[in-house]
Copies of this chain bind each other. A is one copy, B any other.
Amino acid sequence: MENQQNRTEIAQLGEFGLIDHLTQNTEIKHASTLKGIGDDAAVVDNSHQVSVISTDMLVEGVHFDMMYTPMQHLGFKAIAVNVSDICAMNAKATHVLVSIAISNRYSVEALEALYEGIHHACAYFDVDLIGGDTTTSLKGLVISVTAFGAANEQQLSYRNGAKEGDLICVTGDLGAAYVGLQLLEREKNIYLENPNIQPDLENKKHIIGRILRPEARQDIIQYFAEKNIVPTAMMDISDGLSSELLHICKQSACGAIIYETAIPIHAETYAQAQIFNIDPLVCALNGGEDYELVFTIPQSAAAAIEKHEGISVIGKIVAQSEGVRLKSGNDNYYPLEAQGWNAFTSK
């Protein structure tokens, strides 16, 4: 909870004062940014590359809960999830626009913390903040980010290029964000029942960090560039591995088999899933929000991929008639189902 003694009302600064205040530390590092914040629009020089553009909206109460989301982390995450979409095209993120709608429940200090996270993420991912919109909401906080990247056209990875025989790979580990979120929800409920009980988050750094401050795998995109690898298809894992793999197979008109035993799951994820009495595999397949990458490569690229210890080969692309299936540890086959996003379901 913010310190009430250091509370500046947004109305004290006004719109233009607020925007100036929050964006005064914006550094422009890309020569392609001809005009950043401060005019009707930003101007970017794309020279001979193509632009890759993505947008994502984060809504308080839907995508984050202010009870356990530090403002700095939220700002970082808002940038990271958009950079992740650019990575998923095998492109390098270069510019972001950030729009926020906020109720006057928030102070200027809270927004400063949000922008601290935004600026930190921009520096971390090497992107320029070039514009946005700041407005009022009747309730809660909405953050809408648009990210731009640059790429040579022949380097792009769409969803529709997977070919029979390609290897299916994922980066990092899966399911951590899901169990991290369940843990934060549990601690919130304990706190609401008894504010004197302090949360025990020892040995939970990985799973908590994953949900509050996810990475975008720009390092993997750079590795691809160094090794001259262009994935035949790629997505970032926001809705869950099953959901993303079904998208790739649908758009590429192919099937897939993935191996249960090959799916990377972190020790903390295993341990926490066991405490919650849920199957870690289900977390990894359907959890979502891990912002790792799932991609397919020709077998000719296998050697370079296997050298990278942050990448796991988890299966292969097969004929469309074979469907999209999981092969379990005891050699049974189960069709994968998309269980991802169901926020619209009436409660």
Residues of A within 8 A of B (CB): 9-11, 13-16, 18, 34-35, 38-57, 59-63, 85-86, 88-89, 91, 95, 97, 99-101, 104, 130-133, 135-140, 142, 144, 146-149, 151, 153, 156, 158-159, 234-236, 251, 340-346
In the bound complex, CA of A215 to CA of B234 (Å): 40
Given A15-B343, A135-B63, A146-B55, verify A235-B44 contact (CB < 8 Å).
no
In the bound complex, CA of A146 to CA of B53 (Å): 10
Check B11 against A138 for contact (C-beta < 8 Å).
Answer: no
**Pick from B54, B140, B156: contact of A131, CB under 8 Å:** B54
In the bound complex, CA of A340 to CA of B19 (Å): 15
**Pick from B15, B48, B56, B251: contact of A133, CB under 8 Å:** B56
**Pick from B57, B97, B138, B343: contact of A61, CB under 8 Å:** B138
Check B44 against A11 for contact (C-beta < 8 Å).
Answer: no
Check A344 against B136 for contact (C-beta < 8 Å).
Answer: yes
In the bound complex, CA of A187 to CA of B138 (Å): 22
**Pick from B10, B52, B136, B153: contact of A62, CB under 8 Å:** B136
Given A53-B41, A85-B41, A149-B41, verify A344-B18 contact (CB < 8 Å).
yes
Taking the nearest CB of chain B, how far is it from the CB of A296, in angstroms? 14
Given A97-B53, A99-B57, verify A86-B41 contact (CB < 8 Å).
yes
In the bound complex, CA of A54 to CA of B43 (Å): 9
Contacts of A144 in B (CB 8 A): 55, 57, 99, 133, 142, 144
In the bound complex, CA of A340 to CA of B14 (Å): 10
In the bound complex, CA of A55 to CA of B148 (Å): 13
In the bound complex, CA of A34 to CA of B49 (Å): 12
Taking the nearest CB of chain B, how far is it from the CB of A22, in angstroms? 13
**Pick from B41, B53, B100: contact of A44, CB under 8 Å:** B53
Check B11 against A344 for contact (C-beta < 8 Å).
Answer: yes
Given A41-B52, A89-B43, A101-B142, verify A346-B153 contact (CB < 8 Å).
no
Contacts of A62 in B (CB 8 A): 101, 135-138
